Amino acid sequence: MPSQPTLALFDLDHTLLPMDSDVAWAEELVRRGVVDAEWHRQRNDHFFAQYKAGTLDIDAFLAFQLGPLAAHPRGTLEAWRAEFFAREIAPRVLPQALALVDRHQKEGALCAIVTATNEFITAPIAKAFGVSHLIATQVETTEQGEFTGRPRGLPSFREGKVTRVQQWLATMDLGLESFHASYFYSDSVNDLPLLTKVTHAVAVNPDARLAQHALEMGWPVVDLFASKDAA
């Protein structure tokens, strides 16, 4: 098996982005009046609280998150996404996060964004960071390319991130053991399964539980958005 210099993996929401793109997209649907505002916000808040607590029911969440995609034509959704990206996401792709990714790329690392957020939302965000490899929750489509409202394959969440990364590396005849050094940057205790698989785990803007675990393990802790420019 060929030996590679380094592997650099990045979580997205609250790691590279100072926000949650899942939550923001749900708010976008509310803003457009295409979902019931009170019910949608209640469910959005419910699942976000579960996520922060490390107890997210991923199947129930994906049914909630992906369901609206099946209710609208693909072209309409993509137009909404373009406006959403320009207004909500692009201003929050901040220099310090871009610099972190760029540093690894300039060092020749194989880089990927590994996120539980679905590929429809995150594909343009990965492109904005200049990362060509995106490991996100996949979305099922019909033969005509329209969304069914269901996930496809294993969600990229908790232990699923480990499996999806391993599957991706296997397409290049690689494994995590192929690298002299492997990095994973994350904010969430939900990412402990993958954080414990790499040689260099880095807690970025960590939640309280991950911060405590990082302290106990001696992992570096980075506050990527500490500057006033991140507000």
Residues with a known catalytic role: 11, 13
Which of helix, strand or coil describes residue 149? strand
Q: CB-based contacts of 165: which residues, under 8 Å, 6+ apart?
A: 9, 112, 114, 135, 176, 194
What residues contact residue 221 under an 8 Å CB cut-off, 6+ apart? 202, 203, 204, 206, 211, 214, 215
Q: Which two tokens stand for residue 68?
A: 């609206």
Closest CA to 224 of 52, 85, 98, 54: 98
Q: What's the distance, CA 179 to chain centroid?
A: 22
CA atoms of 71 and 53, how far apart (whole Å): 30
* C-alpha–C-alpha distance, residues 9 and 101, integer Å: 9
Residue that is written with structure tokens 């995609």 in the block = 69
